[in-house]
Structure 1
Amino acid sequence: MLPTISTLDELVGLVEQGDADLYVRWSLGPHTDLDGDGRATSRDALTGIELPGVSANSLRVEPWWGDRPLRLWVARRLYDYRHLRDLRGPGVRAWILRGRECSRGPDNEPLVQDIHPVAWVDDAALHECERLVAEQHSPEWGPLDRRG
């Protein structure tokens, strides 16, 4: 059973440990994404083609971010794809994994293999992310949702 990250600060603490191989994924979870051999695949929504790993988003902080707040970096990484919960249906949640990027998907997203589940992300932490992003008052910012 996976532990649950309840707050944004808990997730920031995990990222602060310097693990460059942490990713966030929105799905039904590792029990669905991983086969019995630990192999992971996903499908391109447009063409249906099987991809060589699961699509996920890195939590690694890029050097250009500098000394800006880590909380904001982590918050926007979760905020960007929160619409996937509604798009993909009941039971879809954010979860954190360690893995190895094996390729890039059709949206240039990392495709990840050698997955080790770390934790679920609780809705309370997601609400903190939404509030922090909203506090930036950017009229040009929103989730990466194609349905709009």
Structure 2
Amino acid sequence: MDMFTVHTLAELAELVRTGAAPYLRYSPGPESDAEHPSTDHESGIVMPGVSVNPLEAPRWWARPLEDWLARRVCQYLRELDEGARPWLLTGRRVDFGPDNEPLLVDITPVTWLAPELLDEARERYTTRFDAGAATHRDRANR
């Protein structure tokens, strides 16, 4: 698919602020997704839309949008090892998946995320967050 590529978190933030690219997906890409719908891996049920990660920061978020985006981008980096590529899209929300992620139909692909953006996100995430801390108990056991 011929999409442009976003190279920095600042560029990504601008797309999110304008509403041009509100969702992130890790997959082989839009063409592959059109042929292979999202499936709940535990039950085997085909879901009624493509599972995505919303990029808009919640109202309570008091840090820079770029911090939020770094966190969201890094959430599924493990999928790169499975042949997935990160890309941004819009669409119509029809339901929620098993992890409470939005499921979209009427997908419009917007852009790919460049490897250097992933590196920037990884660096920002690991330096600005307590990456990997899952609960209050995790912090108490350190």
Q: Same fold (TM over 0.5)?
A: yes
| Deviation (angstroms), 1:48 | 1.5
TM-score (norm 2): 0.85
Q: What is the percentage of aligned positions where both structures have the same residue?
A: 41
Match of 2:27 in 1: 27
Q: Distance in 1 between matches of 2:133 and 2:114?
A: 23
Q: Distance in 1 between matches of 2:7 and 2:57?
A: 21
Match of 2:45 among 49, 56, 59: 49
Q: Distance in 2 between matches of 1:52 and 1:93?
A: 22
Residue 42 of structure 1: SS of its match in structure 2? coil
The structure carrying a bigger helix percent of its residues is: 2
**Contact 2:21 / 2:110 at 8 angstroms: preserved in 1?**
no
Deviations 1:32-79 (A, max 9, x none): 1125xxxx831111121100001110011211114x201101111111
- Structure 1 stretches lacking a partner, 5+ long: 143-148
Q: Residue type matched to 2:26 in 1?
A: W
**Contact 2:21 / 2:88 at 8 angstroms: preserved in 1?**
no
**Contact 1:21 / 1:60 at 8 angstroms: preserved in 2?**
no
Question: Would you say how many aligned residue pairs link Structure 1 and Structure 2?
Answer: 133
1:5 aligns with 2:17: no
Q: Distance in 2 between matches of 1:118 and 1:99?
A: 10
Q: Residue type matched to 1:28 in 2?
A: P
Deviations 1:5-56 (A, max 9, x none): 1111110111121x18610000000011125xxxx83111112110000111
Larger radius of gyration: 2
Q: 1:114 to 1:21 in 2, by over 3 A?
A: farther
| Deviation (angstroms), 1:141 | 3.8
Q: 1:12 to 1:21 in 2, by over 3 A?
A: closer
Q: Distance in 1 between matches of 2:131 and 2:87?
A: 28
Residue 100 of structure 2: SS of its match in structure 1? coil
Match of 2:58 among 54, 62, 83: 62
Q: 1:105 to 1:139 in 2, by over 3 A?
A: closer
- Structure 2 stretches lacking a partner, 5+ long: 135-142
**Contact 1:21 / 1:58 at 8 angstroms: preserved in 2?**
no
Q: Distance in 2 between matches of 1:103 and 1:132?
A: 32
Match of 1:145 in 2: none
Deviations 1:118-143 (A, max 9, x none): 0000110011000001112515448x
Q: 1:64 to 1:50 in 2, by over 3 A?
A: same
Q: 1:124 to 1:26 in 2, by over 3 A?
A: same
For the aligned residue pairs, the C-alpha RMSD in angstroms reads: 1.9
